[in-house]
Structure 1
């Protein structure tokens, strides 16, 4: 069973599931989702306007009960992006909260719109569906329109079980997060994880430090932006000291944030690595070491390897970077209607090409350098990881944020260029500072001081929006 917590085996409570100010027992969630499943059963796919509300949870669970693929649509989607996704996945309905129906963002939608009633009830009994596509998650690449990654039920089950093992996640936990409900982190881990493990869930609506502090959880999920804001509120951070595990993912956690979070809460966070297509494949463990700058070791059932540009193996010496490839039971089953992309995504012997550059040491610890297309800078014959330069910049006391890219250069091929949010410092001072901490050839040739960096909903810096990126 994909969601055993809905079977009653873990007991129940009136507020087992909290999303903002909305509360539901697991029994009420099951009954409301069943009522919606009665309406959508037999559909080829349904889309969900994935706001941070109980309606999204009910809609996703309804699809899982009925065996109907669910397509989460970000509520900040523009009309062209929204309609592209709806057409591409051939959704029969767009499920929305009652408060969203008829509003401007949903004007002239390409498919019928239906509201989700969280108070509806049904006692229909649905047998566990056969394995098939549970979610279609759209992910943007470096070029072209977003692709719909087909996530099978078996992949979700395998990944959540592996993470429950790595994080010692049990029904006794109270999971707290405020992440968007249209990505792997917030929806699959942060909602379906609780419904598979049997833990209670408190979604804070938005990931604000005071809301995290007030939730009194045992297990917290956040992205680096969230943890940075928590650290900026020392009282809120100290309130998390009673939690047993803090997990960071979706983007690299800057070293200063790692260190400050450990200082304020009394424990270093656990970092993990994954992608929409692979779910979470590498993580630190609750009972293991926490290394700043590293994302851990492969979770149960996962294998990883590094390869060079020419396809030869890269030694796991902790220093040599290579293209990271993975395989395991939590892989997606392909991109919707993208035969060429599917062929390109996998090697001839069945490994998924992540497109990320990493190092692996002799103990299996992984350090993600960045995207091969963006974060591996080839300058003057050197291969320079953007993340290493970013961490060097972030070590400067005046620097709050940093993003590094490779920009075209007539002599070097590419030059290292940094975009920095900082107080009371200069370009020359930052270049000199970095050159004193890492190899001189890795220093930025240019530093642009900016007011903010462009980020997406998960807090990832959108480097393609930076000049030259």
Structure 2
């Protein structure tokens, strides 16, 4: 296997990381991370207080160079969750930016400050020049690289153990799909404790030998500034692209900046079709969607040289096998654009286990295929369209299996709807009835239940229309902007 970061080993002088006015070239990163890696050698496992900072990026790279598994910790986690993660992962050391006050669950552990300001390395020490990234032996492809904790919606968060081959195979498959090279400059503002922001957004550019600028906090002015100053790619989540779509009409500089981007990528949840259309109409650029999860990293994507079809997540990435299965577990062989099945995947992108949870690990697989719990349809050309989660988004109504996602997209096309979510609830006649949760565009004059039902029935089949509409001021969302449907109830 090639090293994770060839450009570090080659000591490239090209820019690598920039967070505000703090920046490092690949050679400077090799020095800073190499110095820290020597300090980490021999540690069993390290946690990192994953703020969106240069220190977090350097800390993760250093741990990977040293072959030490790293646990990114969400700084917004609650005390109970932090205590569970600390107890479950049992790190022997915590990495953090200088001056950060750690919560009790982590403060009791040995700590090492990652200070990479001008002229300093780790704990105030000067970095040792020429600390080559290639000086550390490359661990086995199966060696753990990261332990990323899931959201814990059905119990305590589980630590997904991601091996090094999962990182390299995913990032190389995305390089193929997105034509990603060392000439690309990525801009993003995503958190650094999960797959999208950390692995794709930080490790991806470093593996390619390119660079990344992190905004710290998302704002459309920052996006416009960076894309107008040489950045070629933007990574974001649907909430970010929705705000971009809302701002475009009154911000010609933003529209011009987006029009000049080589690639706009959205992930972590479905981007509503109406936001796709608004961005395309204003900029001439189409947003590319991809599909992945903590346990699998990336599974599919719309290719840079493919058709950027709104409402789909493209085709399986190189090396990834994907199938849909029905309720009996039988594979759905026909790509008809109608048959709904659960997505199952296998390939080098998969995690190896849930830490300390052999029962959960065994339950997650069937005959070597990982059960994603996501429901989808495949179009005749193989494009995948996700219609929701098996647990919350597959609605069985009147004998039909209905995906909530397609109804949500149609509702969002209605001019009177700002946000929408669709769930099912028990119905004595239908089994389940379709419920639409709506945030009106104009709260003083919301669209009526009949108007919305007729709108859906006119675009989809009549049995997919909502039978009940409930109006909200806002939908409950998590840190990544995903709608928390379990928080919706009558």
Map of 2:237 onto structure 1: 223
Kindly indicate whether residue 83 of structure 2 is the aligned counterpart of residue 83 of structure 1.
Answer: yes
Whether 1:147 aligns to 2:158 is yes
Provide, for residues 427-456 of structure 1, a one-character-per-residue CA deviation record: whole Å limited to 9, x for no partner. Answer: 423233223322222111221211111111
Which residue of structure 2 lines up, in the alignment, with residue 18 of structure 1?
A: 18
Q: Which residue of 2 aligns with 1:375?
A: 393
Aligned counterpart for 2:361 among listed residues 338, 342, 352: 342
Question: What residue is the counterpart of 1:320 in the other structure?
Answer: 339
Q: Is the 8 A contact 1:86 1:110 kept in 2?
A: no
Match of 2:124 in 1: none
Question: Residue deviations 1:111-136, cap 9 Å, x none?
Answer: 23332111211355323233300000
Give 1:406 deviation, angstroms: 1.2
**Contact (CA 8 Å) 1:156, 1:330: kept in 2 or not?**
yes
How many residue pairs match? The answer is 463
| CA gap 1:92/1:363 in 2 versus in 1, 3 angstroms | same
Whether contact under 8 Å (2:416, 2:447) holds in the other structure is no
CA distance, structure 1, for counterparts of residue 452 and residue 13 of structure 2: 55
Show the counterpart of 1:8: 10
**Distance change (3 Å), C-alpha of 1:94 and 1:21:** same
Q: Which moved more, 1:22-31 or 1:296-305?
A: 22-31
Distance 1:141 1:312 in 2: 28
Structure 2 CA distance for aligned equivalents of residues 12 and 183 of structure 1:
28
Contact 2:95 / 2:114 at 8 angstroms: preserved in 1? yes
CA offset at residue 93 of structure 1?
A: 1.7
2:427 corresponds to: 409
CA distance in 2, matches of 1:301, 1:37: 31
Secondary structure of 1:262's match? helix
Within the candidate set 134, 138, 143, 1:128 is matched to 138
Asked if the contact 2:423–2:434 (Cα under 8 Å) also holds between the matched residues in 1, the reply is yes
Q: Which residue of 2 aligns with 1:58?
A: 58
Whole-angstrom CA distance in 1 between matches of 2:452 and 2:373: 30
Measured in 2, the distance between the counterparts of 1:82 and 1:455 equals 20
Query: Which residue of 1 is the match for residue 272 of structure 2?
Result: 254
| CA distance in 1: counterparts of 2:235 and 2:478, whole angstroms | 17
Q: Which residue of 2 aligns with 1:117?
A: 115
The alignment status of 1:330 with 2:328, answered yes or no, reads no
The secondary structure found in structure 1 opposite 2:459 is: coil
Once residues 319 and 172 of structure 1 are traced to their aligned partners in structure 2, the CA distance between those partners, rounded to angstroms, is 40
Q: For 2:395, what is the secondary structure of its paired residue?
A: strand
Match of 1:82, SS? Answer: helix
- Aligned equivalent of 2:306: 288
Distance 1:464 1:430, change over 3 A: same
**Which of 201, 205, 211 pairs up with 1:190?**
201
Q: Distance in 2 between matches of 1:319 and 1:110?
A: 54
Q: Which runs of 5+ in 1 are unaligned?
A: none
1:364 to 368, 382, 398: 382
Further displaced range: 318-327 or 133-142:
133-142
Relative distance call for 1:237 and 1:455 in structure 2 (3 A) is: farther
Runs of 4+ in 1 over 4 A off after TM superposition: 105-108
Contact 1:306 1:323 in 2 (8 A): yes
Say yes or no: does 1:421 pair with 2:439.
yes
SS state at 2:95 partner: strand
- How many Å separate the matches in 2 of 1:36 and 1:94? 13
Within 2, Cα distance between the matches of 1:99 and 1:408? 52
Normalising by the residue count of structure 1, what TM-score does the alignment of the two structures yield? Answer: 0.95
Which range moved further: 119-128 or 403-412?
119-128
Bigger shift: residues 333-342 or 424-433: 424-433
In 2: Cα distance, 1:358 partner to 1:382 partner: 15
CA distance in 2, matches of 1:399, 1:343: 42
Shift of 1:408: 2.2
SS in 2 for 1:12: coil
Q: CA deviation at 1:410?
A: 3.0
Match of 1:263 in 2: 281
- Separation (CA, whole Å) in 2 of partners of 1:30 and 1:86: 29
Other-structure match for 1:307: 325
Cα distance in structure 2, aligned partners of 1:110 and 1:396: 53
Alignment counterpart, residue 209 of structure 1, candidates 217, 220, 227? 220
